Amino acid sequence: MSGHGFSTRAIHDGQPADPLTGAVNVPIYASSTYAQEEIGKHRGYEYSRVSNPTREALEENLASLEGGTSAHVFSSGMAAIAALVTMFKTGDHVICGSNVYGGTPRLFDQIIAHYGILFSYVDTTDLEQVRQAIKPTTRLIHIETPTNPLMQITDIRAIADICHERRAAGQAIDLSVDNTFMSPYFQRPIEFGADIVMHSTTKFLNGHSDGLGGVLVATTPEHKESFEFVQKCTGGILSPFECFLVLRGVKTLAVRMKQHEVNGYAIANYLAGHAKVPQVYYPGLPQHPQHALAQRQMSGFGALITFETGSLDNANAVLRRLRVCTVGESLGGVETLVSHPATMTHAALGEEGRARIGLTDGMVRISAGIEDAEDLLEDLEQALSVL
Ligand code: PLP
Residues 6 or more apart whose Cβ sits within 8 Å of residue 254? 6, 7, 10, 185
Which residue stretches of the chain have pLDDT < 50? none
Question: Would you state the pLDDT for residue 136?
Answer: 98
Cα 314 to ligand 1 centroid, rounded to whole Å: 26
What CA dihedral angle connects 263, 269, 270 and 273, to 10 degrees? 180
CA distances from 296 to 26, 91, 157, 175, 291 (A): 36, 36, 10, 19, 9
Q: Which of 92, 123, 155, 178 is catalytic?
A: 178
CATH architecture, domain 6-250? 3-Layer(aba) Sandwich (3.40)
- Write down the pTM of the prediction: 0.97
Question: Which sequence spans correspond to the domains of the chain?
Answer: 6-250, 253-384
What gap in Å lies between CA 35 and CA 269, rounded to an integer?
58
Cα 308 to ligand 1 centroid, rounded to whole Å: 22
Question: Would you state the pLDDT for residue 1?
Answer: 67
What CA dihedral angle connects 12, 300, 384 and 358, to 10 degrees? 110
What CA dihedral angle connects 173, 179, 180 and 181, to 10 degrees? 130
Alpha helices, DSSP H only, in 284-331? 291-297, 312-321
Question: Would you state the pLDDT for residue 99?
Answer: 87
Q: Which residues line ligand 1 (CB under 6 A)?
A: 76-78, 101, 103, 144, 148, 178, 180-181, 200, 202, 212, 214, 330, 345
What gap in Å lies between CA 168 and CA 154, rounded to an integer?
22
Question: Would you state the pLDDT for residue 225?
Answer: 98
Task: Give, using CA atoms, the residue closest to atom 15 of ligand 1.
Answer: 77
DSSP code at position 64 = H
- Say yes or no: do domains 6-250 and 253-384 share a fold: no
Question: Would you state the pLDDT for residue 3?
Answer: 82
Question: Going by CATH, does the domain composed of 253-384 fall within 3.90.1150.10?
Answer: yes
**Inter-residue contact 153 to 185 (CB < 8 Å):** no
Is-catalytic flag, 101? yes
What gap in Å lies between CA 58 and CA 37, rounded to an integer?
27
b/e sequence 224-233, b meaning 16+ C-beta within 10 Å: bebbbebbee
Is-catalytic flag, 106? no
pLDDT tens track for 159-210: 999 999 999 999 999 999 999 999 999 999 999 999 999 999 999 999 999 9
Instruction: Work out the end-to-end distance of the chain between its first and last CA atoms, rounded to an integer number of angstroms.
Output: 52
Q: Which of 9, 139, 188, 203 is catalytic?
A: 203
